[in-house]
Amino acid sequence: MQQKGEEDRVWYDIMEEEMKAYLGLNIVMGINQLPSYKDYRSKDLFLGNEGTKSIMTVRRYEKITEYLHVSDRANEPARRARNFDKLYKVREVITMARRNFNNNYKPNGKLAIDEAMIKWTGRLIIQAVFASQTN
């Protein structure tokens, strides 16, 4: 809203419990994937999800998604700047997640990693970032 210089009459501040519900909904929607986030609130008996419907309206979900940022956009380096980071917008979340994974996940001796089920010769920037941080 600040960037656009406008006020959104539909928006109201979010509370901690509502943010937890929003994050939980996203986890559930990642596990039980449907073609559209609106499908979880469908009136169709075989498509809609009563739990999702009871947590939050589709309009509120859309508004939180629209305004959720996990970085300070005011300090974002310019694209051509020397310190530009392609993952700037999610860098803090990645750093926090990696720290928590390292502190809390201790794999045992039997661990298998399946790198790919489908051949792909492209390159992901996130792979290079993680590789440079582990060295």
Nearest to 31 by CA among 42, 41, 40, 18: 40
**How far is Cα 11 from Cα 22, in angstroms, rounded to an integer?**
15
Task: Give the confidence band of 116 by pLDDT, cuts at 50, 70, 90.
Answer: low
CB 129 within 8 A of CB 116: no
Kindly report, residue by residue over 31-40, the tens digit of the pLDDT: 988 899 899 8
Q: Is the pLDDT of residue 107 over 70?
A: yes
Residue 93 has a pLDDT of 87
Residue 123 has a pLDDT of 72
What is the average per-residue pLDDT within 98-122? Answer: 78
What is the average per-residue pLDDT within 87-109? Answer: 87
Residue 118 has a pLDDT of 65
Nearest to 55 by CA among 41, 73, 43, 65: 41
Task: Give the confidence band of 126 by pLDDT, cuts at 50, 70, 90.
Answer: low
Residue 109 has a pLDDT of 77
Kindly report, residue by residue over 46-95, the tens digit of the pLDDT: 888 888 889 999 999 999 998 888 888 888 888 888 888 888 888 888 89
CB 76 within 8 A of CB 46: no
Kindly report, residue by residue over 10-32, the tens digit of the pLDDT: 888 999 999 999 999 999 998 98
Chain centroid, CA 82 distance in Å: 27
